[in-house]
Amino acid sequence: LEAIDDNPAWTGTASGIPLLYARVDGLGTGDDALINEVEIVEPSLFFRHAPDAAETLATALIRRCRARI
């Protein structure tokens, strides 16, 4: 995520608006970890795995829309 933060043009965050969502998938290989995938747009958001996730996202989106940007 540091690489994403260091390159705001990649995500549109150059305007100072932070990302609302990001996910990094990794694979463990003994003592090392490998990045498998980085997503800032997630089609499913895995709502079925976290019962409160949809409400949390909706609340964050409402807060973002109401914020003065």
Answer whether 13's CB lies under 8 Å from 21's CB: no
- Tell which residue, 24, 52, 58, has the closest CA to residue 40: 24
Distance between CA atoms of residues 30 and 13, nearest Å: 35
pLDDT above 60: residue 69: no
pLDDT, tens digit, for every residue of 49-65?
Answer: 888 988 998 998 898 88
Distance between CA atoms of residues 42 and 6, nearest Å: 21
pLDDT, tens digit, for every residue of 3-44?
Answer: 878 888 888 788 877 788 888 889 988 888 898 988 887 767
pLDDT above 90: residue 66: no
Distance between CA atoms of residues 56 and 26, nearest Å: 24
Q: Residue 36 in 3-state DSSP?
A: strand
